[in-house]
Amino acid sequence: MSTVSEPLVSGSSRSLSSAKRHKSIRKNSRRIFSTYHNQQGPSDDEDKEDERVDSNDPEEMFQNIQYQKEIIANIRSRPWPMKRKLKVLKQAREIVLRYEGRLTRTRGYQTAGADLLIKLSRLLYNIVVLFIPWEVRIKKIESHFGSGVASYFIFLRWLFGINIVLTIMTGAFIVLPELLAGAAFGTTRSKTIPREHLASAQDLDTIWSLGGYLQYSVLFYGYYGSVRKIGSAGYRLPLAYFLVGMAVFAYSFIILLRKMAKNSRLSLASTSDENFTFCWRVFCAWDYLIGNPEAAESKGAAIVNNIREAIVEEQEKKKDTSLAVLISLRIIANILVLLSLAGSIYIIYFVVDRSQKLEQEKPELSLWEKNEVSVVVSLITMIAPSAFELVAQLEQYHPRTSLRFQLARVLVLYLGNLYSLIIALLDKVNSMSSAVPVNPGNWSESSSFLATISQPEPDSLSTLVSDISFPEHHNSTTATVAAVTHLSNSSRPSSGFNQTSLFEKTTRSQQDQCWETYVGQEMLKLSIIDMIFTVASILLIDFIRGLVVRYLSDCCCWDLESKFPEYGEFKIAENVLHLIYNQGMIWMGAFFSPCLPAFNVLKLIGLMYLRSWAVLTCNVPHQQVFRASRSNNFYLAMLLFMLFLCMLPTIFAIVRYRPSQHCGPFSGQEKIYDIISDTVASDFPLWFSKVMSYITSPVVVLPALLLLFMLIYYLQAIARSLKFTNTQLRMQLQTERTEDKKKVVQLAAARLQGPEAAADPKPDLQESDITSQEASIHTPSPRQNGSATTFQSPVSHGTSIRTITQSVSRAELSRGSVTGSFRCPAVTVLPKHRLEHIPNRPPPFLGGPSGTCRSKSYHHIRHNAPGHSPDNIHSDPLYRRTARSARPIEHAGIIPAQSCGGRRSHATRYIIINEHEPRKKLLRSATRIPRHYLMEEPAEILELYPRNMKRYTHRTAHHQSHHSHRAYLSQQYLSEDEEDEQGGKGRGRMTSTKAHRPHSLSDLHQSAHFYIGDQEESHALRAQNVGEEDGEGEMDSEDLELASRSKSSVKGTEPVVVRIRHHVHSPGRDGQSPARIRHMESYVKTKTRTKLETPLTESDSASLASSSDQQNSSTDQYIQVIHNKERYFKSDASQENMAKRKSKASFDRNVTESNDLVCSNV
Amino acid sequence: MGGNTSQLSKENVSEYQELTFLTKQEILLAYKRFSELYEDRRSSLDPRTSRIPLQKMTELPELRSNPFKHRICRVFSTSEVKDGSLSFEDFLDLLSAFSDSATLEIKSHYAFCIFDDDNDGTLNRKDLEKLINHLTSESEDTKLTRNEMEQLINNILEESDIDKDGTVNLSEFQHVISRSPDFVSSFKIVL
């Protein structure tokens, strides 16, 4: 029992405080309301109630203004029809204007400025959109082939954008300055074609292999001069070259990471388990912008495609196959893949090695021999993926996983290719730059070896012998170093120095072999060949095949279109990877060949058109196209991986090898990056270099690194914890939802058990539960009073009831009850009784009164409905109720008065539980303890009725006004609170109901009746709910209710109600029930006052015997008063009475009285 | 046209601006378009009461090929007879909800209304089926088979129906929609 009672107590106390709060608020609003009431038509007042500002309170006024402003600012984002918005806006504006006239001007400027800004940005946006390349083309492809294929093109476009930026960077900072201000072609040795090559410099063959004029052009590293400053402005080209080379990587990294972060932000919002593929494909599928019927058609096709795709995917998930075979197959497949990977790597290395040897051995290389490397690499990149795909069919993975595998393998293959190529190249570079012998003893030998290579070259410029010596001394011991450096130092500045012929020859060869240029050449060559192969494969594999399949299918013995050759499929994954691979080459070579990005731009443009053409003309969409949307980070992750891996060799080369001595911007330096330190040392003030040296010293770098690691770790930890809380919250949300659902289901089931399935489920149920429980709690006290020798208790009851009805707040109720208990010693007895009868009851004092209040409220509702509108739907339920209730009544009736406590309690219990049966109870009670019950109930009815009216009016006001969400909410709160206070129904109680429910289950049948009977309430609730979403609906329903209920004009009723409410609240605050009551009475009616007063006086007197008498007398008075207005309800009342089996004079009286009372209030 | 546009008082325009996500130009353009559609009727155009019937409205090139055009008109119509006819203010509401700058919340709210074929406040299986049929344009080759439809609806409910009541309510719908990367950009109609 105690456990049960606790929640109730806490709930009541909570509601108590909230009730107070709201009362004060309401009071304010009331005051405001009343002031405005006079100024404006009554119809609008209700609506505006919540907007009103209490002009006396600047704080409140300010808040209200803020609030109204908020309304104005947010009004457009409310899904209301224009009419309503207009009305609300006008009202809000009016208020703001009234209270804040001077502020509006500045606000006007502000909004004008904001508008302008918005307009400008929109204009800009429109212009930008105009310039997005290939938008139409991509949309077209998208509509034909779905998002997957389009994603390839979008990715291509994005890469194109990156390459544009890279091109601008290299073009503007390296190529253009060199062209404009650098030494002209032919002026320096590094910029002239060697004489022996001059003859063949224009041969197509030479050009093809990027030799001749191309080799000595801005295309490659070797062409750039090493003069520290060029042009009149003193442009530091070498420094720029280095910085741009690094910036290319930096930019790529940043842009990639940013894109990834953006995507992951999008995808984070929908973490793995929240992937609404299907919903998105259906709900977000349609592009409402489409106005062109054709486009709409293709969009429709795309959507169907998409949906089918998703369905297939889903079905794919459900497939099962035997494991053993699968595993062995997969192992085999992986072995095959590994073998082919190793093979391809070996082949590449072999080819590079061979070409190196060939170069050394043969003076003239054939076309094949020259292009061997790139052709082989391209061939492998073309063929291997198909082989992998074949292998993948062995594995029987889910298409998506197989796609992933395929991608991973192809990526590894490409990387292997690039890496083996670059390693082979660097190997060659190594042999070139540090060509020679490790030990000084072999000096002559090595040089002679070089000489043999360069022998065919006739003349030799004697310069730069030192260059050769440099590498050597590098690798040699210090002793030799000294000698050689001396040599080099002397030789370097003097270009016309004469050396031995041996040296001359070696020099020549060395100068030709500018390794950076060589690497650049190779990369560019690879890129070109790759492009050719791509084009060829598109033409051959897709186009020709398409043609053949299309036109030869008639004269062939099998169906070409569906059997063997078919149409080419567009393989997104491979193509994307190919793009990535391509980009990797660019990154790898960009440092050595500044024009590579520019070339890539051209290549991508060509690819875009060719591919899109091929896709549209001769490809069919992949049978199972998987979504790789813009938000997919997969491609980007691969690209990032590629970027990193491609940057490594370049960085390695920059750090590890010394630059060529004859060519390029860094000639003559020990290391490429020396340019930075040189610049810092020579061109910056001294302090700067000092600072730099400090910064780069381990003292700073190490702590900085440490700090970085710590930061990373910290952020990581935060991210982890956030993720954790995120999942926690989600789980909580889920469980809560399921819990709620369960409860609702339980309630519904419980309801079904009851004979009558009420039309309205949740709110009613909960409330009814609460009420029933509370009612049960209540009842004991009356019984006890009755049974207990003390008559006072009834009196106290009556008072408490009245107080409840009036004040509505639990606090008051409790007080009332307390007072009651105070007066009557019998109260102590009550708990015991309760225990016996209804074990679940909460503590008597608080719970009892509140319960009574509620039950009363219910009664009211019922009374109202039948009384006012006989035609109402409610009337039916009422009858039913009455019928049911009859049973218990009889029961009660059978029970003799002797065991007053027990039986009465029973009877009362029933009554309370049934809520609807108050009348019957009344009847019954009238029979047994006539006066008390009668008294109480009529009083309740009286008060309740006004309340209900209030409520309704309140709501209607809500609907009409609809000022804003907030207003809404607040109103709702208010109404809820009101209900709480009134003790009729509170949502706050709903929470408590849960706890109580189990207990109430025993009483379920009766409670069910209640629910049904409570239709009015449910109506109201429903209306409220609906109102939250739809103002109109609410209005309608409420209007209906109002109309049906109120015979007299609604307006007339409203003011009365309001007034009553007003008064009720203020007394509630006072906390003195008698005072309250008196207020109430005075406002309501003189008659009621008299009635109420009598009970009060009784309670005050606190004398047992006298109290009983008084009560009786008071009830009599009551009745009499009521009698005056009996006629109103006679008809309705008579109907009700008919339904009830026991038609006693007293019954009739009571019922009629209640009705009358209600009427009179109106 | 100038005569028509002048019928919209400045006050009205600024009010509409305040109440919608549209700019002044857009409102004027909308008025122009609206009055063009309205022109052949005799009575003068009143933004609040003059209505353009559903049939005419769906002839609008911006709506013509939209599979949801009828639903859209019905959702935005405030007509008492529920015939889907739009007054100018309804029309503005429509354009506002579909405008560039409308918030996700309002867009998703209206999207929900549009998808909610029977106006009962939830998307039940029937609504979903209708929605899908709208999308697949109901021709024989594009229409989903019974099985596919069943599975699709099941999957949709599985994904979005958090409270497992067999329907998608507004908050569930908005939850799903708000995660979608490209709903806001595609739920647009520009005159």
**What digits encode the pLDDT tens for the residues A860-884?**
434 443 334 334 334 344 344 433 4
Nearest CA to CA, how far is B114 from chain A (Å)? 10
**What is the total count of domains within chain A?**
3
Contact A278 B156 (CB under 8 A): yes
CA A424, CA A357: separation in Å to the nearest integer? 12
Contact A269 B165 (CB under 8 A): no
Residue for token digits 């009343």?
A34
Q: Does B100 contact chain A (CB < 8 Å)? A: yes
A202 with A271, same domain?
yes
In a domain? residue A723: yes
CA B79, CA B95: separation in Å to the nearest integer? 17
Nearest CA to CA, how far is A950 from chain B (Å)? 29
So what's the pLDDT on residue A10? 40
Contact A289 B186 (CB under 8 A): yes
Q: Does B183 contact chain A (CB < 8 Å)? A: yes
Q: Residue A94: which domain range?
A: 58-128
In a domain? residue A624: yes
So what's the pLDDT on residue B139? 66
Q: Does B148 contact chain A (CB < 8 Å)? A: yes
Listed as ranges, residues in chain A with pLDDT below 70 are 1-61, 97, 99-108, 111, 126, 129, 142-148, 190, 265-275, 289-296, 298-299, 302, 316-322, 362-367, 398-400, 432-513, 553-567, 619-632, 737, 741, 752-1162
A586 with A518, same domain?
yes
So what's the pLDDT on residue A566? 64
Q: Does B22 contact chain A (CB < 8 Å)? A: no
Tell me the pLDDT band of B184, cut-offs 50, 70 and 90. confident
Q: Does B23 contact chain A (CB < 8 Å)? A: yes
Q: A132: Cβ–Cβ under 8 A, 6 or more apart, which residues?
A: none
Contact B159 A279 (CB under 8 A): yes
So what's the pLDDT on residue A298? 65
Residue of A nearest to B75 (CA): A81
In a domain? residue A676: no
Going by their DSSP bridges, the two strands A619-620 and A568-569 should be labelled as parallel
In a domain? residue A1129: no
Contact A282 B156 (CB under 8 A): yes
Nearest CA to CA, how far is A311 from chain B (Å)? 7
Nearest CA to CA, how far is A686 from chain B (Å)? 54
What is the DSSP secondary structure assignment for residue A893, as one 8-state letter?
H
Residue of A888, A882, A862, A873 lying closest to A771 (CA atoms): A862
Q: A201: Cβ–Cβ under 8 A, 6 or more apart, which residues?
A: A193, A211, A212, A213
Alpha carbon separation from B141 to A220, A301, A867 (Å, rounded): 57, 10, 62
Contact B132 A307 (CB under 8 A): yes
- Please count the residue pairs, one from chain A and one from chain B, whose beta carbons lie less than 8 angstroms apart: 170
Q: Which residue in the set A81, A279, A290 is minimally distant from B78, CB to CB?
A: A81
In a domain? residue A808: no
Residue of A520, A538, A530, A528 lying closest to A591 (CA atoms): A520
Contact A300 B135 (CB under 8 A): yes
Nearest CA to CA, how far is B81 from chain A (Å)? 15
Give the rounded distance of the alpha carbon of A41 from its chain centre. 46
Residue of B nearest to A307 (CA): B152
Q: B53: Cβ–Cβ under 8 A, 6 or more apart, which residues?
A: B83, B84, B85
Residue of A nearest to B142 (CA): A304
pLDDT digits (tens, 9 = 90+) for A641-681: 888 888 888 888 888 887 877 777 887 778 888 888 888 87
Q: Does B129 contact chain A (CB < 8 Å)? A: no
Contact A288 B188 (CB under 8 A): yes
Contact A300 B186 (CB under 8 A): no
Which residue among A128, A147, A169 closes a domain?
A: A128
A82 with A150, same domain?
no
In a domain? residue A109: yes
Residue of A427, A472, A475, A481 lying closest to A450 (CA atoms): A472
Contact B115 A122 (CB under 8 A): no
A353 with A369, same domain?
yes
Which residue among A623, A644, A665 closes a domain?
A: A665
Residue of A1075, A1099, A497 lying closest to A818 (CA atoms): A1099
What is the torsional sign of CA A823, A829, A834, A835?
positive
A146 with A115, same domain?
no
Alpha carbon separation from A591 to A158, A167, A622, A653 (Å, rounded): 22, 12, 38, 10
Domains within chain B, CATH numbers bracketed: 10-97 (1.10.238.10), 104-186 (1.10.238.10)
Nearest CA to CA, how far is B39 from chain A (Å)? 22
Residues of A in contact with B102 (CB under 8 A): 77
In a domain? residue A366: yes
So what's the pLDDT on residue A167? 92
pLDDT digits (tens, 9 = 90+) for A1101-1159: 333 433 444 444 443 434 343 444 444 444 444 444 444 444 444 444 444 344 433 33
Residue of A nearest to B137 (CA): A300
Residue of A nearest to B130 (CA): A282
Alpha carbon separation from A959 to A864, A1061, B86 (Å, rounded): 22, 20, 23
- Buried b vs exposed e over B8-33: b needs ≥16 C-beta within 10 Å? beeebbebbbbbbbbbeebbbbbbbb
Residue of A963, A987, A810 lying closest to A23 (CA atoms): A810
Nearest CA to CA, how far is B143 from chain A (Å)? 8
Residue of A nearest to B150 (CA): A311
Q: Which residue in the set B15, B66, B160 is minimally distant from A288, CB to CB?
A: B66
Q: Which residue in the set B67, B165, B189 is minimally distant from A741, CB to CB?
A: B165
A65 with A164, same domain?
no
A175 with A311, same domain?
yes
A378 with A417, same domain?
yes
In a domain? residue A193: yes
Residue of B20, B35, B61 lying closest to B191 (CA atoms): B61
Q: What is the phi/psi pair of residue B52, to 5°?
A: -105, 130
- State both tokens at A1038: 């409420």
A591 with A714, same domain?
no
CA B41, CA B50: separation in Å to the nearest integer? 10
A571 with A655, same domain?
yes
Residue of B nearest to A733 (CA): B162
Q: Which residue in the set A119, A284, A629 is minimally distant from B186, CB to CB?
A: A284
Residue of A440, A432, A420, A419 lying closest to A467 (CA atoms): A432
Nearest CA to CA, how far is A266 from chain B (Å)? 7
- State both tokens at A152: 């390839």
Which residue among A113, A128, A143 closes a domain?
A: A128
| Tally of CA atoms within 13 A in the half-sphere of A231 that contains its CB | 13
Nearest CA to CA, how far is A67 from chain B (Å)? 16
CA A1026, CA B18: separation in Å to the nearest integer? 27
A532 with A658, same domain?
yes
Residue for token digits 């405008």?
B99
Q: Kindly report the pTM of this predicted structure.
A: 0.51
pLDDT digits (tens, 9 = 90+) for B97-132: 887 778 888 888 888 888 888 888 888 888 888 888
So what's the pLDDT on residue A148? 66
A333 with A402, same domain?
yes
Q: What is the phi/psi pair of residue A40, to 5°?
A: -120, 170
CA A663, CA A667: separation in Å to the nearest integer? 6
Helices and strands, counts by H and E, chain B:
12, 4
Residues of A in contact with B89 (CB under 8 A): 81-83
